[in-house]
Each structure stands twice: as structure tokens, then as C-alpha cells.
Structure 1
């Protein structure tokens, strides 16, 4: 029986059409800058998000790291949420490798950072303090979509204080689809608010590997040098770039299916004893359990019956292109029996 893997949208397998695009990709040596598939992807992503240049990276962690280090020098500071991936889930890379001090702030329930908290965290120009240089937001964050008005207010505030703004947009297109209307135009509207954006191809878009950093030509030139130091340059990377290009061409609008499946899952779990479901904005469903319930026992019982998800600090289910409506319905039957 098929295993229903809801651990993350990173577990997706390349589709048959994506594999064909990879095999047909013209290749070169990207270290020399002559892989045509990489170059075409970078040009496409930059144009799509309204920036001068883009740089293809192996991972989103590296893309964010190169972005932060391109913005900040040793002894600088970036303002970020406590729950943000760049602070909590990327091994402290900005501090360890970039000597950039994080200034973490509490995320609000909707994932945002309070504007008053951002303003209060910006340091005066005084040798006692690290230099506040960058505001780093994330959209989506924990599956929640930051409103365009909020992002505009936050980035305007940052710039009024002399800070640049970076977006960890690992699931940027999930946010863009959830906004309704033209998803790619929405992605451009979001990206326009930031000096740099990192976007991931290996989550909901379904590519096997890869992210891109977009920004000004100068920033991307600095990031390219940092990528080299971080070991991120690849040779015939066009195989992977072709997968990312196929994902952009064919897998953006279909993210709405993942969002619908997440809503179906959330609705089906709501009302079960000892279960509190967080209504999803996109493709991530969080479930909090009553204190007398053992989350790890639930995870193990479900996995034994062919349903996989995570329970590190709360139960987390992520829908994606390899999970159908029928899979969600089957998972719900199993979870109801376990609960």
C-alpha cells in the first residue's frame, strides 16, 4: 500500500515530465558561467520577480546565508523572528559563518513581527552596539501568509531607518497562490517590496534540488563569491536548473490543490478529542495535542499504518503534489481511528 508522506513538501519526487526536461537540458560548466540551462533559469527568475539578477543555489539554507552575508559585514546585525527559518532552523549560519548578529523578535500569532518591536530593536549608531543593517522576514511562515500591506509597512519602516530588507521566500509561490488571482504577478508584487528574495524550487514546486537568490546585480555578484566560499558552485548544474524551470512553468498554479487538501485534512481532524487544529492558510497543518496525549506515540502509530508526519514540538502535516485528495481521505480515516 502507498505510504502517504506528509512530513514535508520536500519529499516530492520529480514527475515524468520533469525528468524528461532534465534529460533534455543543454549543459555547460556553471563555474565558468557557461551552462545555458542555469543561465536561462537565472534570467527567468530574475525577470519573474522583477530583479536585476539571480543566482542558482543547491539549497535554500545556502541561498539565505549568501543573501544575509551579501547584505551584512562582520559585526552587523539582522532583525528576524524567533520562529524564522534563517534564525531557528539553519544552524546559526549567519552568526557562525558570517559573524552577523541576529536580533530575534517574538513572532505574532500570524507570523509577523510587530512594527513597534522592529523599530525598538533598531540600534542607534553607537560603537556599543552591533550595526543594524537588515530586516529579514519570511513568507509563508509556518504556512501562514503575510499580508501585502504588512510587508509594505515593515519594509518601509526598515528603509526609513537605513536598513535593507530580505525575504526568505522558500514558499513564496504558496503565498502568491493563496492571495488569489495571478500567482506569478502576486509573487512579483511581494518581491518588489524587498532588496533580495530567496525562493525554493524543491518544496511545493516539486523540483528535486535548488533555490535561487534574486536582487541587484551588485548584491548577486557579492553573493556569488560567498557561494564559492560556501562550496555551493556546481558544474553541469543545468540538469537541476531544468527541473526548477519545469516547476516554474508547470507547478505554480497547481499549488492551489495542495492548499485545498490541507483544508480538507484540517476540517477532518477538527473536533477529535484532545486535538486542536490550526486552520491552514496554505499547505501546512499544525495540530496541538492535549497534555495527556503522547505526540510521538501518535506519530509512530500512524507510520505503522502508512501515514508519515512529524511531531517535533507539535504535529505537522504538509500536503504536496505527491498527495492526492484520496490520500488525505485515507489518512483521515487512519488518524480518526488512532485518536
Structure 2
């Protein structure tokens, strides 16, 4: 097979065809993406403006909204432009940036969700020691650590993926550049890289997931020992939102990156990738706003202020 120069562009085949049903799905995806952008931006604004939300728990939540906001902005605009114009080319540099930002945000979100589970563990199991165990210094360290670990993973995989020689078939059967899909186009033997990439993905998923399971096991044991039904109900309400987000995010990520290679198909990969890059970021602010009384209170206060300003 003929090798081609690294300066040659890739071709993204995309998520949809130009049929009636696919046009409807494309519009639906744009609506979902816009809703996600508005929801996460509103969550960031509420946490920034409302003093009642200036606590480590909500600071962590603001970073989750920021990551989801950036993830949507990295994937959807390019996909929409490609579909509307028919120009589906992406340069190697653009492909590398997509891989880097996607893995940085995805990996960072894994560790951020683990940090959020630790925050809930301290708040429920050690409420009197919360200001010490979950101080602003600890919170900031967790956030910087999440971004750093995600960036290291993204940089390594993007650099290693683009270092391969690619063959004359340079069509990527996806709607954005994802490392496992791009590696399939390489002419060289990629078995060692794929094995290392698999190990990295397992570590990036299983380590945070293990920490989350340990935290919620301890939380469950503490909640079951509570004598007050009101305290038990409040604890379950506080944690249920986070558990829902964890289930959606890790379920899709594990299905994508930890399946054996023989069970993978381009169609399934595109569907699952669309779920956790487009739909899950929309659900996160909805889950946290619906199940959290303080966020709902901040939203009502903001709407009342906007109404008062418009009447003036």
C-alpha cells in the first residue's frame, strides 16, 4: 500500500448522510448541542454569581460544566460545518488538536468525578472535619490534578497516533478524530501502541471508578446507620445526582475503550461517541439542577433579578 505524506488531509465521513431521516437527526443533534452549551454556561454563571454556591462542591461542579462546554465546542462545530458544506477534510494538525482536547477533557472528567465523590464522602461521613479535609487548597489541587492528568494522556496519545505512517486510504469513518479510529489507518504494526493505549484507558477509567465505588460504599454504610429519615433522605438526594452522571459517563466510556477489538464496529463507535460527547454534556446540568435545591434556588433568584431589570 502507498504511504502518504503526513501533511495530507484526512477525510471525516461523518455521522449522517443527506437523507430526510438523517437531516432530522442532524437538526436534533444541533438542538441538543445548543441546549448543552446554554445549560452548562448557565450553570457556570450561577455558581460564579451566587455567593451561596461558593463552596468546594459547586466549584468542582463548575469545572465539570466547563469541561462539557469545551467538549461540545471541540466536536460539534466542525461536524456541523462538514455536514452543511460537504467539505469533510481535516488537517493532521487539526486532527491532533481534536484528539488532544477530547482526551484531555474526557480523562480530566474521570478524575474530576472521583474528586466529586470524595467531596460527598467527606460531607456525609465527616461533616465536622469538612473545612479541613475539603479545604479550598485541597479542592484546587484536585482540579489542577484532573486537568494535568487528562492533558498528559491527551498529549501522549495525540503525538503517538500522528507519528505513524498512514496509507492511501485516509478516510476516517467517524465524525471527529478519535485515536482508536485513526490508528486503523496506519500502515505500520500498531499492536504495541494499541496495547499501551488500552492499558492507559483502563487506568484512566478504572482508577477513578474504583475511588468512586469506595467513596459511595462508605457513604452507603454511613447513611444506613443514620437514625433520622430526613437526614437519610437528604443524603440520598445529594448523592443520586452524582451517581447518575457517573453511570452515564463511565458506562459509555467503558463500552467504547474497554471492549475487545473483535467486538468493535465503526457504527457502534460513532453512536456511543455521539452519546457521551453530545448528549451526556446536556444531561449533566439538567440532572444537577433538577435534583439540587440550592441550584434551583440560585436559578429562581437569577430569573427574579432578570425579570425585575426588564420591568425597570
Scaled by the length of structure 1, the TM-score of the pair is 0.23
Q: Which has the larger radius of gyration?
A: 2
- Structure with the bigger percentage of strand: 1
- Structure with the bigger percentage of helix: 2
